[in-house]
Amino acid sequence: MSDMASQHSRYPHFLEPLDLGYTRLRNRSIMGSMHTALEETEGGFKRLAAFYAERARGEAGLIVTGGIAPNPAGRVFTGAAKMDTEHESDEHRVITEAVHANGGLIAMQILHTGRYGYHREAVGASEIQAPINFVKPKKMTSEEVWQTVADYATCAKLAQRAGYDGVEIMGSEGYLINQFTAVRTNNRDDEWGGSYEKRMRFPIEVVKAVRKAVGEKFIIIYRLSLLDLVDGGSSWEEVVELGKAIEAAGATIINTGIGWHEARIPTIAMVVPRGAFSAVTAKLKKEVRLPVVTSNRINNPELAEAIIARGDADLVSMARPFLADAEFVAKARADKGHLINTCIACNQACLDHTFGGKLTSCLVNPRACNETNLNYVKTAAPKKIAVVGAGPAGLSASTVLAERGHNVTLFDAASKIGGQLNVAREIPSKTEFDETIRYFGNMLKEHNVHVELGKKVTAAELVAGGFQEVILATGIIPRKLAIPGGDSVRVLSYLDVLRDKKPVGKNVAIVGGGGIGYDTALYLTDGGHATWAKPDEFAKEWGFDLTVSTRAGLKEKSAEHKKSPRSVTMFKRSKGKFGSTLGKTTGWVHKITLEERGVAQVSNVTYEKIDDQGLHYGLKGETKVLPCDTVVVCAGQEPNRELEAPLKDAGINVHIIGGAKEAGELDAKRAIAEGAELGARL
């Protein structure tokens, strides 16, 4: 797009090219680094090529790959991706050629994990174990540090050989380079430790060595930690000093990172306000001359445009939004932002998979990282298909089927689409689910799905309708508490509370310790601060400073945000700690929040009865009573399949997906994936 054309766009600054002197980015977007596990999967490089090529076609300005280690010690785990041989370089060429064939630019991230490495070869600036790792790192000798500098340079040269347009040197998030710069992890007294001048020597030597190895016309992005958010992290003055030194050492672009992985402050979860940290990037932008990138929780083109237009950053990095929609930029350029499948920062199929050793994908877009095996091909034989249930599974199936050319009718007894997504969005900070409902609603219109809401369709009507296939996405029925008093007026289901807004007393017992129980507890204890929408309030709640007037950005948490309007106690029958089913990268956020709000948790109980005194329960052979006004039951659900038998008896082809198929924990990830897979198959 020409500069003149960009001036007529709704996003003139975001879509404006960036001239780096010897090369030109077609717009101000960067697809941020995200490890997919395809790097270690058989046949994974071809799949990665398809994955990145689709994002290049979607007009990502510059793609940055997942982290590749410069040597064996730097790997994430034993057998993880590295590049220190020509053979490994050659394997990457299929990726770079695919991206270039689709008009894109791509940089390889060089990531040395240091003490975050999950293997016995892990090394660090000092012999200080990470609280999130079982491995104590070996302290690097001075000779090993110099060798690692050389390994970065070799890795960059091999990336250049593979056809990459640049590299990103990962210097944030608590990985090796960050471990050298912070006193938290560097207690050395040699040339690599002690004063800040010595602690920052390692990243400077790395950038200098890389620049010498690759020459002038090669992009070097340095990812600089702006807010370490851990005790013993860098001060703002140190961050600025390092940024200027990196600029002088030969970097092309400074990307910005927020928080170490071990920080107890959320930085990318759904609870984080959109664009919460761009003001910190703006503060750095005043100190350096290089183009500066901002990141974290930027998920729509309007926000990206606003950030760049007001001068907070020169470029915007978005990783998960490009998982959710490969055509993010192209849709913005075509003024089709309403059709962007928005990242909701749930982490369930991306980061939770990454840290769980699974293949990365996306809750709202199951095609992500599955571009070679999940495609929505136009059908040669259109069918008349009914989908019953407009929750996540039904919406996914309906839109994919209609996109492929089938004649689809979607039924739901409710007056609006969304199903359980409408329940989830009631949880404070989870209103991002509105975006998923908005997206599916627009896709229903885009692909001409006939929608009948407020209608509980019968099996007889479906048979009479002449449908060739019927998909049941009819969801679940909450399980009741089968004890004396379980049907009293003081007993509510989670749907009564979250969906139907029935009144709840001041003293509450929640029966069930899974994800639904946590969501209900978060809802009932919320003090109405809505910190998810206000960066300043969010910073007060979690104890950090967006002005970076304190070391590492840390400050005391606000007591105001810990107040709960109710006294809540959670119960579960099973032994052990609560929250075992919560997400790996977000569960701790919910646990801390409820702990600070004074929510009590009691496990290994039996439920005996409910009466005017409250909830009677057994614990360690004794009967106890919790005085309470309300008991909220979050103890599971049953699949709703009432239409299955009569339809099958009538000879109709019936398919069951989502909660109707398996009513465990409510799982939008599985529901949307099942809908998409069935839609692609029929």
Angle between helix axes 86-101 and 142-161 (nearest 10 degrees) is: 40
pLDDT for the residue numbered 4: 41
User: From start to end of 61-165, where are the E strands?
Assistant: 62-68, 106-110, 123-124, 138-139
Q: What is the pLDDT of residue 2?
A: 40
Write down the pTM of the prediction.
Answer: 0.95
Q: Give the pLDDT score at 9.
A: 81
Rounded to an integer, what distance in angstroms lies between the CA atom of residue 359 and that of residue 370?
A: 10
Mean pLDDT by 10 residues, the chain (682 residues): 53 97 97 96 96 98 98 96 98 98 98 97 98 96 98 98 98 98 98 98 98 98 98 98 98 98 95 96 98 97 98 98 98 96 96 92 98 97 98 98 98 97 91 96 98 96 97 94 95 96 97 94 84 81 93 92 93 92 92 96 97 96 96 93 97 96 86 98 96
**Sheet strand arrangement including 106-110:** 253-258, 219-227, 166-171, 106-110, 62-68, 29-31, 315-318, 293-294
Q: 175 catalytic, yes or no?
A: yes
CA trace torsion 162, 168, 170, 171 (10° rounding): 140
Burial class (CB in 10 A: 0-12, 13-18, 19+), 445: exposed
Angle between helix axes 392-403 and 433-446 (nearest 10 degrees) is 30
What distance in Å separates the CA atoms of residue 339 and residue 117, rounded to the nearest whole number? Answer: 39
DSSP three-state, residue 149: helix
Q: Kind of pairing, strands 62-68 and 106-110?
A: parallel
Q: Strand 476-478 and strand 637-639: pairing?
A: antiparallel
Q: Other C-beta atoms within 10 Å of 623: how many?
A: 11
pLDDT of residue 435: 97
Catalytic position from the list 175, 494, 523, 617? 175
DSSP string, 650-674: TT-EEEE-GGGT--SS--HHHHHHH
Structure tokens, 500:
């139907």
Enumerate domains of the chain plus CATH numbers: 23-335 (3.20.20.70), 384-477+641-681 (3.40.50.720), 480-527+563-635 (3.50.50.60)
For β-strands 123-124 and 106-110, DSSP reports them as unpaired
Of 303, 185, 219, 205, which is closest to residue 249 (Cα–Cα)?
A: 205
